[in-house]
Amino acid sequence: MLMNDHASKLHRRHATPGEGVRSTAGFGLPRNLLEKGRDRVKVMALLVLGGAGFSAVVRLALATASEGISRTELIGIAYAGIVAVVAALFYGAARAKRIEPVHILRVGLLFEVGLCFTISMGNVWQIYAAYGHLPFLTWATPIVIAFPLIIPSPPRVTLLTALAAGTSAPLSVLLLSRIGAVTAVSSDYMWVSISPVIAVAVAYVGSRVVYGFNVDIAEAQQIGSYHLQTLLGKGGMGEVWKATHRMLARPAAIKLLRPEILGVGDGITPEVALHRFEREAQATAMMQSPHTIQLYDFGMSDDGRFYCVMELLDGLDLQSLVKRFGPVPCERAVHLLRQVCASLAEAHRSGLIHRDIKPANVYVCCYGLDVDFVKVLDFGLVTYQRASTDASVRVTAEHTTQGTPAFMSPEQVLGDRPVQAVSDIYAVGCLAYWLLTGETVFSAKTATEMMIHHATTQPDPPSRRTDRTIPQELEDAILSCLEKDPSRRPASADGLSERLAAVPVVEAWSPERARRWWETHRPEAIRPAAV
């Protein structure tokens, strides 16, 4: 469990450069860079296919226009055709998703060697047949240089591959002389070897630069035991990335927090900020409600970024849900809101206040075989409800307004009363308003105007903002959450949940109805139901 080994997370992660990178499968690069390597292999195959195909077509057209096809032209057409066919097969293999990218890169190196031998044989034979002397330079030379610049591979592997490809020129001369196609003396082997030797040296140096650059990128994307893969979102507090564990198959979501969110730069040292973050992360990790996002890990990276590692969810937040599909039926709103209350009830009993309940922080997803399952996010930025003389209890920066203006309680706006559990209840009322109407409680042109409304303006009943019928019991519950006076709101999340459960609905939001909705709108997220 996280608490049993939290001591390892109190300090910054320090690793030998490349340690996290080299533990990944194949070529010492993480999977996302290997996938990019697959794309580069496809580009290289297309370039070779285009060049060889064009050469074959032009040669064939010129030969057809003349009186006949000479032996030299026939050799050139045959070799260009062979190269085009091999490149087409290689491109097809690179496109096959069932083939791991690391295997594609390995085959790419074999393709380089085979391509150089094919081209060298064709060039040497064709030039000798046309002019009676051996070529000083073949097309294998630029290919040896270009491959490591396009297809990433460790410098040692590049060197061995380049040496094998570079020997294609002298070896082609040797093979062709053995079958009597060319005549070569000792000095010919030296001359045809000069350009491959230069190409091997350039390829090795280029590989060190390109591969080193890829490793630097991979190390910059390493956070603790996790490797960042895809940027999922960016906001005022930081970034959220999809990530994978270096040793486990489990995917995760990593939130990178801006240091100033934790008070760094406001007279607070990174060490104190990390201590604050640690306390709240530990408290969050102790929560066991299935409707609270699971926290796997937390800490501060080598470059001073705070991060928390959470479970990766398959679904969409309530902001996106309503924007894409419109307001939800009353019975579904009750179903979703009660799950939010379940998460908050446990947090409040632990003395934790969320302070930023809003549609973007409530995720509805497919969770195992369950559908329409709610997860409350961003419990890494909570505050303690209980008064404390310990200044390190608060996570976020001092003298800042925390929360989202459209969902902030009057006491958060004015700062005249402590932020308590009922402050989250107010935000749940705003959330319910959004679910039923597709609009925020108040409309405003600026954040300041919005906060003034929350502090002073009485809200319209949600039934006035929608054509749908809203049960009076549900509307009363929402308006009670939106009371300006905290003492007049529901006293607890449990109490609000019970009140919502008593709302009469025409048809309950059953698991079957939920599954039908997901099968219609998000079928890719649905797992087969248990038999």
Tell me how far apart the alpha carbons of residues 141 and 218 are, in angstroms, rounded to a whole number: 30
In Å, how far are 81, 126, 127, 327, 445 from 75, measured between CA atoms?
10, 6, 10, 70, 75
Per-residue pLDDT tens listing for the chain (531 residues): 333 343 333 333 333 334 444 434 456 666 666 777 788 888 888 988 888 888 888 877 877 777 667 777 777 788 788 888 888 888 888 888 888 888 888 888 888 898 888 888 888 888 888 788 888 888 888 889 988 888 778 888 889 999 999 999 899 999 999 998 899 998 889 999 999 999 999 999 988 888 777 666 555 566 667 777 777 877 666 778 888 877 776 788 888 776 665 555 555 566 666 676 676 677 778 888 999 998 888 877 766 677 888 899 989 999 999 999 999 999 999 999 999 999 999 999 988 888 889 999 999 999 988 999 999 987 645 555 544 333 333 344 444 445 789 999 999 999 888 889 999 999 999 999 999 999 999 999 999 999 999 999 999 999 999 999 999 999 999 999 999 999 999 999 999 999 999 999 989 999 999 999 999 998 887 765 543
H or E element, residue 32:
helix 31-65
Neighbour count for residue 519 (Cβ, 10 Å): 12
**Residue 385 · residue 425 · CB < 8 Å:** no
Tell me how far apart the alpha carbons of residues 58 and 252 are, in angstroms, rounded to a whole number: 53
Indicate the domain borders of the chain: 31-220, 224-311, 315-525
Tell me how far apart the alpha carbons of residues 374 and 364 are, in angstroms, rounded to a whole number: 4
Instruction: Return the SS3 of 309.
Output: strand
CATH superfamily of 315-525: Transferase(Phosphotransferase) domain 1 (1.10.510.10)
Nearest Cα neighbor of 309 from 226, 373, 238 is 226
Which of 356, 372, 378, 424 is labelled catalytic? 356
Structural fold of domain 224-311: Phosphorylase Kinase; domain 1 (3.30.200)
Nearest Cα neighbor of 170 from 152, 149, 184, 180 is 184
**Per-residue pLDDT tens digits for 3-60:** 334 333 333 333 333 444 443 445 666 666 677 778 888 888 898 888 888 888 887 7
**Per-residue pLDDT tens digits for 385-402:** 544 333 333 344 444 445
* Residue for token pair 């599909």: 325
Task: State the pTM of this model.
Answer: 0.61
What is the CB-side half-sphere exposure of residue 180 using CA atoms within 13 A?
0
Residue 188 annotated in active site: no
Tell me how far apart the alpha carbons of residues 208 and 26 are, in angstroms, rounded to a whole number: 17
CA terminus-to-terminus distance, the chain: 32
**Residue 487 · residue 344 · CB < 8 Å:** no
